[in-house]
Amino acid sequence: MAACGGKEDDTLTMATNAEFPPYEYYENDEIVGIDVEIATAIAEELGMKLEVEDMAFDSVIPAVSSGKADIGVAGMTVDPDRLESVNFSDTYADASQVIIVKEDSAIAGPADLEGKSIGVQLGTTGDTYSSENVKDAKVEQYSKGFEAVQALTQGKIDAVVIDSHTAKEFVKEAEGLKILDEAFTEEEYAIGIAKDNDELLEKVNKALKSLKESGKLDEIVAEYIKADAE
């Protein structure tokens, strides 16, 4: 669909950052996850073929607004600043930022983050909120969320602020870390679409609605997020 880049008209190009399980991540050489399946289902509804492009998280919105990609699907939180660059579809998931610390950490909630070093993925809402809302925080930006988690394991930083479901996946992969009960923020994920592409926005919303109504969306989510993990 993208006008430039020599893409076929029947290709729907998805910009993402595949460092974000369970929404998008590599399994062997393939990008899989909730967002990929949702986008595949949307492309199917539109009679198109999905093409996934992996890039840095902070390149996803520019790729969409410049028309290099048709849709940005990256566990992307609807946020007023981003709305200045792209439109968002209807939301498809609830999320929150949580705090990961070492099991023996004295940090017990958001208030204890004051003056601490906090690892985040560059350009995410965890990055913005930590920088804007935590007093005297030393925010360390990593290009991948898991790098922040590794830095925490190595004792280089005091905490990581990241989306809840991704936090659960990362903590499973690491040793000696825990997620604090108190969430930092509540957010919702949606698909980013270029501001001048109302036609696609409408089509995507229609496809999302039918995925919600048919139960297909819940099915996709259940495949990746087990019920006991909220």
Q: Which three-class secondary structure string do you get for 79-131?
A: CCCHHHCEEEEEEEEEEEEEEEEECCCCCCCHHHHCCCEEEEECCCHHHHHHH
Among the residues of the chain, which ranges form H helices? 34-45, 57-65, 125-133, 145-153, 164-173, 198-214, 216-224
Q: Residues 32, 34, 39, 44: is their CA dihedral positive or negative?
A: positive
Stretch that binds ligand ARG, among 13-21, 44-52, 170-178, 221-229 (CB under 6 A): 13-21
- Residue among 74, 149, 177, 208 that touches ligand ARG (CB under 6 A): 74
- Residue among 1, 19, 38, 113 that touches ligand ARG (CB under 6 A): 19
Toward ligand ARG, which CB reaches closer, 188 or 210? 188
Residue numbers 127-166 binding ligand ARG by CB under 6 A: 163
Q: How far is CA 146 from CA 2, 74, 161, 182, in A?
A: 31, 15, 11, 21
CA distance 28 to 60: 23
Binding mask 177-206 for ligand ARG (x = CB under 6 A): ------------------------------
User: Is 2 within 8 Å of 69 (Cβ atoms)?
Assistant: yes
Stretch that binds ligand ARG, among 17-25, 64-72, 176-184, 190-198 (CB under 6 A): 17-25
Toward ligand ARG, which CB reaches closer, 125 or 130? 125
- Residue among 15, 24, 99, 160 that touches ligand ARG (CB under 6 A): 24
What is the closest distance, in whole angstroms, from the C-beta atom of residue 9 to ligand ARG in the complex? 27
Stretch that binds ligand ARG, among 61-69, 73-81, 133-141, 174-182 (CB under 6 A): 73-81
User: Judged by CB under 6 A, does residue 57 bind ligand ARG?
Assistant: yes
